Chains A and B, each alone.
Chain A
């Protein structure tokens, strides 16, 4: 079998290494890296990006994610894999679980003279700062007036359009992601969690003002309270057995995203979707190349808005009014009653 190694066919491929021995299973950082890789590939004249995701089962996670162990790493890896399929210049993905084979692949690529990220020295030093900054992306945008945007997970775009039309009645989609780490098995930085009562009131108000809109709650199955399922204007992909790839595909065709500064907000940041990213931590401003309280990232459009304070129902509604397209922009067949209420089968 010949891989998609394009070094022989002219321009080389950029190799992106994700070694989870020292890099994080973190949606936001991995997504930012995909855009970073695409920028690097364009700047260096590469024809695409080949990704290697390396997990050593005997040391499957970085120091800060010690809850990911030999016994449970497969589930974490399984969850995060769709991120790599969002790379707009993706050529191939290799999932490697063997140090020997990994070293061999890296060495082979290095000998070919083709570029890789991180460079070998950085990789050997196991150096990766977090959070990943936007410096390279901002600079590319400043030079060219655009940047490579994250793609729908490869192979999922037609599914999303078909599902939206046939199962969600073609309704306008507003994606939400109020962070709720405290409901997960490994709570972290719970002070960043969103106040759910405020979000529930927001959803109800949206239901009254725009009954055609369907609110789509993305994130882990644990990350919402059961009252969310009482609401007829809410769709929760994970409650339908769907996974991250489906969620990201639905985000790409949605009308708007509003959510806490977190992984899904990062996906919105690097796409065209209208968004409101809520309650960004001030320390992150430097990494994003903005000042605290700036209303937009340098790469953002006019309908892509940042907020730096904790949300209120009113502030969320104001963002919704500002950013969500008006009803006439949507197909006439949108049916507010198209989604059944999924409450009957709960234990």
Chain B
């Protein structure tokens, strides 16, 4: 009864937290703080709906983002600083209590992911696949809730030169919020149920390589801007197709794949002055040479890995492997030709992708002739 009264009073005060009148605003803030403090001391029901309406959660979120509170605690007068300090301490208590309640109610949100082999193109892709296809089956009741992950690296410290690429991707994933990185050699361990990012179930990979995935990766506003800047500077007015190649362990393009695709792009560009191709992978210095005018390498022109993932989502089309670039492009309904990263025995699917009307050809094979035939068919019809 009393708890309901507190909650309803909070609702009244909450609406006035950003009131233009200083006095009303401050009174509302004082009221919600007081009510939240009282709520700390009240006995709790284990009812999830009550937890969801807990006033302290919203209060913590709102006041932790208050630039005014930061201003007061950092550069206010002596009294103001002291009061703000108490305010921050109380906020922290409220946050701790709210988190403890959430953990009690729903358990720890952290999923452990072990990385046993080197971090490579497959690992980056598998993190997205894990989020979109494995995680939902593990957390049926909390599909919309953000998830925390703990990456436990089993490798020796000498062979993780793409660790920060993996973190770059983790930061772009829609359902991931907090990310911890630790090493087995530092004593970290994972339970038997932890997923190994190198061992995502074969049927899940098959499904993704045959049909792609849906969503799960953000289009960052910065990356979108830089991708568009790149298009406008490099090839104003042209139709731009992003190209994703298989990579070596260090993240550079596989040399034979580079040759295969460059030859193909050369053929495609003949007689098509409207087309241009931007490769999303890095090259090593020993791979560099003079490139034709219709081919560029975005990562060598200032775009980061995150920018390149965004570029894949906003280019006019995509051709290449279903790695994290390919899955991002496929999810963003980019028309294109999508080649499996690993498997060769999947059916060819030619038609609109799920939830889209554009032509997305899933080659289902890494056979060179099948890839070339699909790409030529796609480009022949592309924007003509």
A residues with a Cβ closer than 8 A to B are: 1-4, 6, 9, 21-22, 48, 56, 58-59, 63, 71-72, 74-75, 77-79, 81-82, 85, 91-104, 106-107, 124-127, 153-159, 163, 166-168, 221-222, 235, 238-246, 249, 339-340, 342, 344-347
Residue of B nearest to A52 (CB): B180
**Residue B182 at the chain A interface, CB threshold 8 Å:** yes
A342 vs B291: C-alpha distance when bound (angstroms): 11
Q: Are B60 and A99 in contact (CB under 8 A)?
A: yes
B332 in the interface, Cβ–Cβ < 8 Å? Answer: no
Known contacts: A342-B300, A345-B297. The answer to whether A100 contacts B102 by CB under 8 A is: yes
Contact A241 B282 (CB under 8 A): yes
Measured between beta carbons, the chain A residues less than 8 angstroms from B269 are none
A85 neighbours in B (Cβ, 8 Å): 163-164
Q: Using Cβ atoms and an 8 Å threshold, which residues of chain B touch A63? A: 67, 70-71, 74
Do A126 and B73 have beta carbons less than 8 Å apart? yes
Verify if B245 is at the interface (C-beta below 8 Å from A). Answer: no
A174 to chain B, nearest CB (A): 17
Give the residues in chain B near A6, CB-CB below 8 Å. 187
Contact B159 A155 (CB under 8 A): yes
13 CB contacts below 8 A, A to B, read A1-B110, A1-B150, A48-B186, A58-B64, A59-B64, A71-B221, A74-B171, A107-B92, A155-B153, A241-B282, A241-B299, A243-B304, A245-B161
- Say which one of B23-31, B81-89, B374-382 lies at the interface with A: B81-89
Whether B345 is near chain A, meaning CB under 8 Å from some CB there, is: no
A9 to B186 Cα, complex, angstroms: 11
The answer to whether A125 and B85 touch (CB under 8 A), given A1-B194, A168-B285, A347-B296, is yes
3 closest residue pairs by CB, A with B = A155-B160, A58-B65, A241-B299
Neighbour of B290 across the interface among A104, A124, A344, CB < 8 A: A344
Total A-B pairs, Cβ < 8 A: 224
A74-B172, A99-B60 known; A3+B300 contact, CB < 8 A: no
Q: How far is the CA of A56 from the CA of B297 in the complex (A)?
A: 34
B350 on the interface (CB 8 Å rule)? Answer: no
Expressed in whole angstroms, the Cα–Cα distance for A215 and B318 within the complex equals 37
Distance in Å: Cβ of A175 to nearest Cβ of chain B = 17
| Smallest Cβ-Cβ distance to A50: which chain B residue | B182
- Distance from B78 Cβ to chain A, minimum over Cβ atoms (Å): 12
Nearest CB in chain B to that of A59: its residue? B65
The reply to whether A78 and B190 contact each other, CB–CB distance below 8 Å, is: no
Bound: A48/B290 CA distance, A: 49
Contact B180 A93 (CB under 8 A): yes
Contact (A58, B187) CB under 8 Å given A75-B304, A81-B167, A167-B284? no
Contacts of B223 in A (CB 8 A): 75
- Judge if B66 is at the interface, Cβ distance under 8 Å: yes
The answer to whether B222 touches A72, judged by C-beta atoms less than 8 angstroms apart, is yes
- The answer to whether B163 and A345 have CB atoms under 8 Å apart is no
- B160 surroundings in chain A (CB, below 8 A): 154-156
Give the chain B neighbours of A347 by CB distance below 8 A. Answer: 233-234, 296, 301
Q: Return chain B residues, CB-CB under 8 Å to A157.
A: 157-158
On chain A, the residues within 8 Å of B148 by CB distance are: 101
Give Cα A81–Cα B67 distance, bound, in whole angstroms: 24
CB neighbours of A9 from chain B (8 A): 187
Which A residue sits closest to B94, measured CB to CB? A103
Q: State in angstroms the CA–CA spacing of A263 and B27 once bound together.
A: 45
Q: How far is the CA of A256 from the CA of B96 in the complex (A)?
A: 48
- Report the Cα distance A155→B110, complex, angstroms: 24
- A165 shortest CB reach to chain B, Å: 12
Task: State the Cβ distance, B231 to closest chain A Cβ, in Å.
Answer: 11
Which residues of chain B have a CB within 8 Å of any CB of chain A? 57, 60-61, 64-67, 70-71, 73-74, 81, 85, 88-89, 91-92, 95-96, 98-100, 102-103, 110, 112, 146, 148, 150, 152-153, 155, 157-161, 163-164, 167-168, 171-172, 177-183, 186-191, 194, 220-223, 233-234, 250-251, 282-286, 288-291, 296-297, 299-302, 304-306
Query: A71 with B222: in contact, given A4-B182, A59-B64, A345-B297 (CB under 8 Å)?
Result: yes
Contact A78 B186 (CB under 8 A): no
Taken together as a complex, chains A and B put the C-alpha atoms of A235 and B300 apart, in Å, by 12
Give A124 to B89 CA distance when docked, in angstroms.
Answer: 7
B370 to chain A, nearest CB (A): 30
Q: Is the CB of B181 within 8 A of A104?
A: no
- The residue among B60, B64, B283, B305 with the most chain A CB atoms within 10 A of its own CB is B64
B191 x A1 contact (CB < 8 A): yes
Q: Kindly identify which residue among B168, B178, B290 contacts A96, using a CB–CB cutoff of 8 Å.
A: B178
Q: Are B57 and A100 in contact (CB under 8 A)?
A: yes
Assess the A103–B187 pair: CB atoms within 8 A. no
Which of A155, A221, A339, A344 makes the CB contact (< 8 A) with B158?
A: A155
With a CB–CB cut-off of 8 A, which chain A residues contact B159?
Answer: 155, 158
Query: From B162, which residue of chain A is reached at the shortest CB distance?
Result: A155
CB distance from A314 to the nearest CB of B (A): 31
Question: B114 to nearest A CB, angstroms?
Answer: 9
Pair B180/A155 contact, Cβ less than 8 Å: no
Q: Decide: A21 near B70, CB < 8 A? Known: A58-B61, A96-B178, A340-B285.
A: yes
Besides the known contacts A93-B182, A340-B289, 4 further A-B residue pairs in the complex with CB atoms under 8 A apart: A4-B182, A22-B74, A125-B88, A155-B160
- Complex CA gap A74/B65 in Å reads 17
B residues within 8 A CB of A58? 61, 64-65
Closest B-chain residue to A235, C-beta based? B285
Q: Are B180 and A92 in contact (CB under 8 A)?
A: yes
User: For residue A241, which residues in chain B have a CB less than 8 angstroms away from its CB?
Assistant: 251, 282-283, 297, 299-300, 305
- Taking CB atoms, residues of chain B closer than 8 Å to A77 are 171
Name the residue on B nearest A166 (C-beta).
B286
Q: Is the CB of A340 within 8 A of B302?
A: no
